[in-house]
C-alpha cells in the first residue's frame, strides 16, 4: 500500500523525530496533542495537529487518524506503542500499523510469555518467577518488574526478603498507572552486568537482519541515561552469538518491523541472558542509525507499506562509534528527582557537530504530566574516545537554564576514566560516583561574577531613558564604585567596578576589564588580557551565564530581601510538584529516621519522602489525592531531643 499521510500517536522529541523522516519521504505529517502540550514544538511542526484529551485514549486516536485522512499510524515509544489492542484497532480501521503484528506485540508485551518464547528458541534466561511472593525460589538480590511494561517503571531492586512486600506493592501501583496492567514478576538481579541489546529489522517477506548491538548500562533508577554502539565489551564472536540468538527468537515469533531483543551480559563470565523484546522503536535507536547509516523510521514506514528490506545481513556494515546521552529535567543532588519549571535557555552550539533530538525549546514549560526527558544528544566519531569527547563538549557548550538538569553529571560520566576504559556495568554510578555538578574554582567564580556585573551594567545603560549616551558609571567627581551583589549557589559575591576614561573598567581594584560587545543575550568580555564571548540569558532576577564547562546560574541579590514563606520547624516539604498518593502516618505517631512518611507521584513515578530524624508527628498538612507544589510543607515531625530545627526532609 502507499503511505502518503502519517499520524504519529505520540508527543515531544519522538514525534519530531518521526516527522523529520516522514517529511523527507514526501509524507504528510499529522499530530495529536493534549491541552498541556498545546504550545509544544512538535504541535507546530506537524502539517496538521488535532487536539485530543488523552494520549492513552486508543479510540480517540484511531478516530482522529481516520477523520484526518491518515494512511498509517506510527506509535513512537511509550504510551500505546506496545498495546496490542491499539494496533488491532488501527488495522481494523483500514490503516497501516507502523510496527509488528498485534499478535507479536501481545506475546512480547507479556514478559512471562516472552521469556517462554525465548526458552523455546534456545536463548538462555535468568532465574525468575511469576509468583511475586516466591523470592526464595529466585534468590536475592532480585528485581520486581512490571509484566507489561518497561523503561524502569514498575521496577524495584530487593536486597532481602523483608523488602519484598513493599517493593511488590509499589511496583504494582506504578505498573497499573503506567501500563494499565498491575501484574509483576520476579527476576534474578546481576550486580556486575551489562545491558546489551540487538536491533532487528524484519519485513513481511520473511527477510530478517540485525544491525549490531547497543550497550545501555549507564543507568539511574533502572532507567538508561547513556547508550552506545558498539559495546566496548562485545567482540565479533559474541556479537555473532547474540545476533543469532536475537534472530532465532524473531524467526520463532514471526517478527517484522523494527524491534529490539535485550540481553543482560554477565561481565565476569561473558554469558548473556534474555531480558525482553521491545516491539517498537527504542529511545536509543539513533546510535544504531549513526553507525550503520540506516534510518530506522524510514525502514519502519517502508515495511508497513509492504516493501521488502532489499538487503541482507552481509550488507549491514557499521563504522565508527556513536554515543547518546539523555538530557533530563532532574536534580542529581536530590537523588535524580524529576524537576519542573520553564526553560529560560536552550540553545545548542553549532560545534562540535552532534545530533540533537529534542522536544523542547527556550520557553518550554516542564510539568509533571510526562517523562522529564528534554533531549537526546548523539555524537558519532571514528573512535569511542573521540565520540565521548565530542558529546561531552557539545553538552558543555549547550546554553541551558531555568530547570535543574543532569547535564553536568552526564559530562562528568563521559569524561570519567572508568567510562573511557569501557568499565560500564549497570552499577557504574554506584561504584564510581561521578560528580553531580560542576564546582567552580576561584578563577571561574571571579570571571562569572565579573561577566554578570558587566552584563548588568550594559543592560542598565541600554534601558536608560535619559543621558543614555553617557558612559556607564560616569561621574564628574570621585565617588564610591558601583556595586552589585550576586549569589552563585551558596556563595555571595559583591563586585565593585568603576569606569575609566579609556572605556575600560576597573573591577574590585584588581582586574582590568574591557567590554568589546554587549547584546541582549551575551557579552564579549576581556579580563586582564583574556577575551571570551559568553551567552547570557536573563530570567527575572537570575542570569544564566555560559562558561566553558556549562551554564552557571547567578542570582542578583536585591538590596531589600522580601520575606520568605515560613516552613514549620521540623517540616517535611515536597521536593517537587506532585500528587499525594499515600500518607503513612498520623498525628501523634512515633517515627524513625529514614521511615517513609508520604508518597508522592510525579512524572509517572513514585517518590518516597522519609523522616529526617526520629520524632513524633505533630501535624499532617496534606491529604491523599491532593496536588502539591514544590516546597510545600507536608507534615511536621518534632524531634525527640529537640533536633527538628528546620531540616528539610525529602529535599
Please report the pLDDT score of residue 205 as a whole number: 96
Low-confidence winner among 82-86, 179-183, 373-377 (lowest mean pLDDT): 179-183
Q: What is the mean pLDDT of residues 260-271?
A: 94
Please give the radius of gyration of the chain, using alpha carbons only, rounded to the nearest integer. 27
Phi, psi angles (nearest 5°) of residue 566 = -70, 145
Q: Class of the 193-432 domain?
A: alpha beta
Q: What is the mean pLDDT of the chain?
A: 91
pLDDT of residue 577: 81
Q: How far apart are CA 160 and CA 163, in angstroms?
A: 6
Kindly report the CA angle at 630 between 375 and 149, in degrees rounded to 5?
Answer: 50
**Is residue 549 within a helix (H) or strand (E), and if so which, with residue range?**
none
pLDDT of res. 31:
98
- Look-up: residue for cell 504519529? 8
Summarised one tens digit per residue, pLDDT across range 336-360 is: 989 999 999 999 999 999 999 999 9
Q: Measure the CA–CA gap between 282 and 296, rounded to whole angstroms.
A: 10
Q: What is the mean pLDDT of residues 600-628?
A: 85
In SS3 terms, 183-226 reads as CEEEEECCCCEEEEEEEEEECCCCCEEEEEEEEEEEEECCEEEE
Homologous superfamily of domain range 127-188: ATP-grasp fold, A domain (3.30.1490.20)
pLDDT greater than 50 at residue 517: yes
- Is the Cβ–Cβ distance between 196 and 427 less than 8 Å? no
The pLDDT of 629-647, averaged and rounded, is 70
What pLDDT score was predicted for residue 471? 59
Going by pLDDT thresholds of 50, 70 and 90, the confidence category of residue 651 is: very low
Average of per-residue pLDDT across 510-526: 97
Q: Which of 213, 166, 163, 169 has the alpha carbon at shortest distance from 189?
A: 163
Q: Name the pLDDT band for 154 (thresholds 50, 70, 90).
A: confident
> How would you classify residue 171: left for phi > 0, otherwise alpha for psi between -120 and 50, otherwise beta?
alpha
Residue 472's nearest CA partner among 483, 480, 463, 460 is: 460
Q: Which distant-in-sequence residues (6+ apart) come within 8 Å of 222 by Cβ?
A: 143, 152, 155, 157
Per the DSSP assignment, residues forming a β-bridge with 456 are none
Closest CA to 380 of 338, 414, 342, 352: 352
Task: Give the per-residue pLDDT at 574.
Answer: 85
Fold of 442-556: Glycoprotein, Type 4 Pilin (3.30.700)
CA distance readout (Å), 182 to 86, 132, 512, 598: 19, 12, 65, 21
CATH 2.40.50.100 residue window(s) in the chain: 571-639
How much is the average pLDDT of 352-373? 94
Out of 153-157, 212-216, 284-288, 564-568, pick the least confident.
Answer: 564-568
Outline where DSSP puts E strands in 131-192.
142-146, 156-158, 184-188
Question: How far is residue 648 from each of residues 215, 437, 515, 641, measured CA to CA in Å?
Answer: 38, 21, 42, 17
Q: How confident is the model at residue 221 (pLDDT cuts 50, 70, 90)?
A: confident
Out of 3.40.50.720, 3.40.50.300, 3.30.420.40, 3.40.50.20, the CATH code matching 5-98 is: 3.40.50.20
Residues carrying CATH 3.30.1490.20, the chain: 127-188
Confidence of residue 564 (pLDDT cuts 50, 70, 90): low
pLDDT value of position 473: 55
Residues 6+ apart with CB under 8 A from 63: none
The C-alpha atoms of residue 121 and residue 250 are separated, in whole angstroms, by 9
Contact 547/535 with Cβ under 8 angstroms? no
114 close to 277: Cβ distance less than 8 angstroms: yes
pTM for the whole structure: 0.84
The secondary structure of residue 46, as a DSSP letter, is S
Distance in Å from the first CA to the final CA of the chain: 55
We find that the CATH architecture of domain 571-639 is Beta Barrel (2.40)
What contacts 399, CB < 8 A, 6 or more positions away?
345, 346, 347, 348, 349, 535, 537, 544, 546, 551
Give mean pLDDT, residues 100-123. Answer: 93
Amino acid at each position: 500500500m502507499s503511505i502518503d499521510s502519517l499520524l504519529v500517536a505520540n508527543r515531544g522529541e519522538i514525534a519530531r523525530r518521526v516527522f523529520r523522516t516522514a517529511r523527507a519521504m514526501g509524507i504528510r505529517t499529522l499530530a495529536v496533542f493534549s491541552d498541556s502540550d498545546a504550545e509544544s514544538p512538535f504541535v507546530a511542526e506537524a502539517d496538521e495537529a488535532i487536539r485530543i484529551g488523552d494520549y492513552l485514549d486508543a479510540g480517540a486516536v484511531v478516530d482522529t487518524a481516520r477523520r484526518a485522512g491518515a494512511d498509517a499510524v506510527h506509535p513512537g515509544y511509550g504510551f500505546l506503542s506496545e498495546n496490542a489492542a491499539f494496533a488491532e484497532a488501527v488495522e481494523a480501521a483500514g490503516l497501516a500499523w507502523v510496527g509488528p503484528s498485534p499478535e507479536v506485540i501481545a506475546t512480547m508485551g507479556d514478559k512471562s510469555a516472552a521469556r517462554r518464547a525465548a526458552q523455546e528458541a534456545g536463548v538462555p534466561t535468568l532465574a525468575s518467577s511469576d509468583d511475586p511472593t516466591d523470592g526464595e525460589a529466585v534468590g536475592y538480590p532480585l528485581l520486581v518488574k512490571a509484566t507489561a511494561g518497561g523503561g524502569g517503571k514498575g521496577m524495584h531492586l530487593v536486597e532481602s526478603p523483608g523488602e519484598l512486600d513493599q517493593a511488590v506493592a509499589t511496583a504494582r501501583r506504578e505498573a497499573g498507572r503506567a501500563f494499565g496492567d498491575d501484574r509483576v514478576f520476579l527476576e534474578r538481579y546481576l550486580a556486575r552486568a551489562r545491558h546489551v541489546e540487538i536491533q532487528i529489522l524484519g519485513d513481511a517477506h520473511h527477510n530478517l537482519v540485525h544491525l549490531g548491538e547497543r550497550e545501555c548500562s549507564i543507568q539511574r533508577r533502572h532507567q538508561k541515561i547513556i547508550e552506545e554502539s558498539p559495546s566496548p565489551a562485545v567482540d565479533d564472536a559474541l556479537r555473532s552469538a547474540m545476533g543469532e540468538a536475537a534472530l532465532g527468537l524473531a524467526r520463532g515469533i514471526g517478527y517484522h518491523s523494527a524491534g529490539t531483543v535485550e540481553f543482560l551480559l554477565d561481565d565476569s563470565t561473558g554469558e548473556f541472558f534474555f531480558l525482553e523484546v521491545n516491539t517498537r522503536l527504542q529511545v536509543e535507536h539513533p546510535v544504531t542509525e549513526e553507525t550503520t547509516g540506516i534510518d530506522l523510521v524510514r525502514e519502519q514506514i517502508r515495511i508497513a507499506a509492504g516493501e521488502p528490506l532489499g538487503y541482507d545481513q552481509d550488507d549491514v556494515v557499521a563504522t565508527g562509534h556513536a554515543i547518546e546521552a539523555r538530557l533530563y529535567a532532574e536534580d542529581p543532588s536530590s537523588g535524580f528527582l524529576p524537576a519542573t519549571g520553564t526553560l529560560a535557555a536552550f540553545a545548542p552550539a553549532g560545534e562540535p557537530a552532534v545530533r540533537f533530538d529534542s522536544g523542547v525549546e527556550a520557553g518550554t514549560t516542564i510539568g509533571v504530566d510526562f517523562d522529564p526527558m528534554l533531549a537526546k544528544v548523539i555524537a558519532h566519531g571514528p573512535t569511542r574516545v573521540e565520540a565521548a569527547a565530542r558529546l561531552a563538549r557539545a553538552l558543555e557548550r549547550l546554553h541551558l537554564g531555568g530547570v535543574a538538569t543532569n547535564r553536568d553529571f552526564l559530562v562528568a560520566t563521559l569524561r570519567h576514566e572508568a567510562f573511557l576504559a569501557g568499565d560500564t556495568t549497570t552499577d557504574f554510578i554506584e561504584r564510581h560516583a561521578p560528580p553531580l555538578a560542576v564546582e567552580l574554582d576561584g578563577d571561574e567564580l571571579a570571571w562569572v561574577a565579573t561577566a554578570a556585573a558587566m552584563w548588568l551594567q550594559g543592560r542598565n545603560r541600554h534601558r536608560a531613558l535619559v543621558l543614555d549616551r553617557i558612559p556607564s558609571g560616569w561621574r564628574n567627581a570621585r565617588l564610591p564604585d558601583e556595586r552589585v551583589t550576586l549569589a552563585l549557589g551558596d556563595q555571595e559575591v559583591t563586585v565593585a567596578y568603576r569606569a575609566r576614561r579609556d572605556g575600560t573598567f576597573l573591577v574590585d581594584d584588581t582586574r582590568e576589564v574591557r567590554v568589546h560587545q554587549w547584546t541582549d543575550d551575551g557579552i564579549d568580555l576581556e579580563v586582564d588580557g583574556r577575551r571570551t564571548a559568553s551567552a547570557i540569558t536573563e530570567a527575572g532576577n537570575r542570569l544564566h551565564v555560559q562558561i566553558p564547562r556549562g551554564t552557571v546560574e547567578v542570582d542578583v541579590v536585591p538590596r531589600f530581601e522580601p520575606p520568605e514563606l515560613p516552613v514549620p520547624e521540623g517540616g517535611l516539604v515536597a521536593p517537587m510538584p506532585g500528587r499525594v498518593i499515600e500518607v503513612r502516618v498520623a498525628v501523634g505517631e512515633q517515627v524513625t529516621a529514614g521511615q517513609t512518611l508520604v508518597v508522592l507521584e510525579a512524572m509517572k513515578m513514585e517518590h518516597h519522602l522519609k523522616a529526617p530524624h526520629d520524632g513524633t508527628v505533630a501535624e499532617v498538612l496534606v491529604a491523599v489525592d491532593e496536588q502539591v507544589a514544590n516546597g510545600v510543607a507536608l507534615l511536621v515531625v518534632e524531634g525527640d531531643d529537640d533536633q527538628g530545627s528546620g531540616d528539610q526532609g525529602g529535599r
